[in-house]
Amino acid sequence: MRPANKKVTRANCNNCTCSPGLLSRNRRSVLMAKRINLKRSSSGSPNASRHGSVFTLDAASLCLPDIKQINTLERLAALRKAMAESGVAVYIVPSEDEHQSEYVAPLDQRRSFISGFSGSSGTVIVTRDVTCMNDVPEGLAALATDGRYFNQATNELDFNWQLLKQGIKGMPTWEQWAISQAAQMSMDLGYKISVGVDPRLISHQAYERIQKTIEEEIAKNPRAAVELVPVRENLVDKIWLHFEELPEKSHSIIKTLGLDFAGESAESKIAKVAQRIKEKNANGLIVSALDEVAWLLNLRGSDIQYNPVFYSYAVVTSTGKVTLYADNEKFDTNVAAHLKECNVTVKPYLSFWNEIVALSKEFSVEDQSFILDTGVASWEIVRLLKCKYQLVSPSPIEDLKSIKNETELKGAHNAHLRDGRALVQFFAWLENEIIAKTELVDEVDADDHLTKLRSKEQDFVGLSFDTISATGSNGAIIHYKPFKGTCKTIDPSKIYLCDSGAQYLCGTTDTTRTVHFGTPSQEEIRNYTLVLKGHVALAKLKFPENTTGNTIDSIARQFLWLAGLDYGHGTSHGIGSYLNVHEGPIGIGPRPIAAKNALKPGHLISNEPGYYADGEYGIRIENVMFVKDSGAAYNGRKFLEFETVTVVPYCRKLIDALLLTSEELKWVNDYHLDVWNKLSSSFDKSSLEYHWLKRETCPLAAN
């Protein structure tokens, strides 16, 4: 914070860039300024911090006038001028990078730069009033996101923005909102309106959705003329340097992953993929998803924080020839030799675009075709192809990658044993600090201590996502992230939710536990137990093969539904093996992806029902499980089941055993016995952890 005797005026801050959004709202200006974390690290190089940006500013350096009136207005004005120069009236800014990654590096956080919203999922639409003659262009700005981020977006967006709550009844999709704005301008002006987007940043599937929305809008309003146009020079990139320095590119090293962790050689994987290409009567596969390239070649990097991937493309042919487009100056000493053994040709990352055009021209002459994943391949890739192509989902690699081999499943067990040990130490320490020592521990302190405990475990690489360390009402923010200086001190009289995970060489973890250090209310106990009942019901479910995740989602929600309650996120997501913590192509929930692909033996998946009382508390219980054959069958159809690999006790204080059936009680007690048997020998019998674990895993009884 600036010295109290130095007053900051609007004049001093005319082109201030320290606002990620809400700084313009007087009542929360100081709060949001403090929330900006200067030390948020970027993936890769320790020198990749963004000086002077909304991602790296030190709260102590921020200007904090009594009434701060600087907001995203100037950024939007600059973007609208760039839109005018490019001839577009509506501009779309997706969250994704050109590989359609869920989490992106600072250099690709364009949506965050223009809107101030820092969540991982959302789409920005900015309109330009084409009739406006003012020096400052006018228009509308909207952010569309889903229920996981409604609270966060409300807090982070300033008054220049409107929030499109996706999935809410009566709320248009972002595609509908964008095209309706364009159609109205076209009808008002009597000529065609262009909607622009960087074609590298949307999948071909998203492109098709937008085109379909345009067709539907024109069918309703025949006088409207709207077209979607590719804007190859990204307009956010064009204005970025006017406000802050561009983030550095990652310089992280690419390394090999040994067979003792991967469980299958890259040569074997390539052969399987080549066979899948032949089965599709195609000649090649374009691989643009970063985790697919990493899995296929048994390589790992750290170009994106928490995700052990590296920027790359690959082309695999039906003969098993592979070309990798990556920056070879980032290779570890073993990588070049490893790729040579696999007969992989390496070319510069940026050469992919010219190469794919040239290769597709050759394919066109020979009447050959490519396979592309419709949900990952960008519109730009498809636009540039000069040959035939097949759009598939999931891709052959995604399908193969999602089914873990025996080594990967063993690795998942080992990773969760290590993680369970760290979490037991963490909760025992936290309870002791808060209750026995009456120390003040805030949400960030707790997060830091948990990371420290994890870092001591064998083969620890880093976290798998930002830890959600949330006390009281912060737990109701589904993807909450605490910031030092504004986070809360953990209150023993309130519920504490911790959703965290780690990357180990042997696997990826994701565990959520909700605990109470004091005396919970009857409402909290009831709702926790309802969530637990759904969690247990899913964990012990047997289901026929070819079952998709959407058909069993209600298993986890049924007890909440009976009480008139629910939660606004999916029940399960796939999990990688020392790869992305969120992995397709499977899931359990109401979203379309959960209905597309059946659960198969070897799929690693989460089990995370929850309940959120807005402004009060949040409850989520998450384990990781894998799908396996149950040994049962009916009319020749096999039945599958889940095996849980997470080993962390549930919170005894929050369980009402009277609400559990005898079967549910037995399952919880058996689980706790398993946790005790696997972890108790890790701790000295006189230790705090040992006694905490013994207490928390004692058998429950219905009195």
pLDDT grade for 20, boundaries at 50, 70 and 90:
very low
- The number of beta carbons lying within 10 Å of the beta carbon of residue 666 is 15
Residue 249, Cα to own-chain centre: how many angstroms?
21
Q: What is the per-residue pLDDT across 617-667, written as a single tens digit (0 to 9) for each?
A: 999 999 999 999 999 999 999 999 999 999 999 999 999 999 999 999 999
The H or E element that residue 463 is part of is strand 460-463
Tell me the average pLDDT of the chain. Answer: 89
- Burial class, 367, CB count within 10 angstroms (exposed 0-12 / middle 13-18 / buried 19+): exposed
Inform me whether the pLDDT recorded for 383 exceeds 90. yes
Q: Tell whether the model's pLDDT for residue 49 goes beyond 60.
A: no
Q: What is the pLDDT of residue 19?
A: 33
Sheet holding 502-504, edge to edge: 460-463, 502-504, 507-508
Encoding tokens for residue 517?
């250090």
Residue 560 to residue 556: CA distance in whole angstroms? 8
Other residues' Cβ atoms within 10 Å of the Cβ of residue 505? 19
Beta strand pairing status for 193-197 and 226-230?
Answer: parallel
State the pLDDT confidence band at 320, using cuts at 50, 70 and 90: very high
Q: What share of the chain is helix, strand, coil (3-state, %, to 5)?
A: 40, 20, 40
Burial 237-262 (b: 16+ CB within 10 A, else e): ebbbeebbeebbbbebbbbbbeeebb
pLDDT of residue 67: 31
Residue 216 banded pLDDT, cuts 50, 70, 90:
very high
Mean pLDDT score, 139-163: 92
The pLDDT of residue 131: 83
Helix (H) or strand (E) holding 448: helix 443-455
What are the tens digits of pLDDT across the range 285-309? 999 999 999 999 999 999 999 999 9
Q: What dihedral angle (degrees, nearest 10) is formed by the CA atoms of 284, 286, 290, 292?
A: -30
Q: How far apart are the first and last CA of the chain?
A: 56
For the residues 196-202, what does the mean pLDDT come to? 97
Which value, in Å, is the radius of gyration of the alpha carbons in the chain?
A: 26
The DSSP line for 588-652 is ESSSHHHHHSB--TTBEEEE--EEEETTTEEEE-BEEEEEEEEEEEETTEEEEEEEE-------G
Confidence band (pLDDT; 50, 70, 90) for 277? very high
| Six-digit token string for 30 | 């100081």
Burial class (CB in 10 A: 0-12, 13-18, 19+), 54: buried
Specify whether the CB–CB gap between 548 and 597 falls below 8 A.
yes
Q: Each residue of 224-269: pLDDT tens digit? A: 999 999 999 999 999 999 999 999 888 899 999 999 999 999 999 9
Q: What pLDDT, in 10s, does the model give residues 499-543?
A: 999 999 999 999 999 999 999 999 999 999 999 999 999 999 999
Confidence of residue 32 (pLDDT cuts 50, 70, 90): very low
Confidence of residue 479 (pLDDT cuts 50, 70, 90): confident
Please tell me whether residue 572 adopts helix, strand or coil conformation.
strand
Domains of the chain: 73-240 (3.40.350.10), 255-402 (3.40.350.10), 406-696 (3.90.230.10)
C-alpha separations of 509 from 153, 573, 574 in Å: 27, 12, 11
Report the pLDDT value the prediction gives residue 7, as an integer from 0 to 100.
30
Give the pLDDT score at 136. 82
Residue with tokens 């692909």: 597
pLDDT score for 61: 32
pLDDT of 183 over the 70 cut = yes
Residue with tokens 């592309």: 372
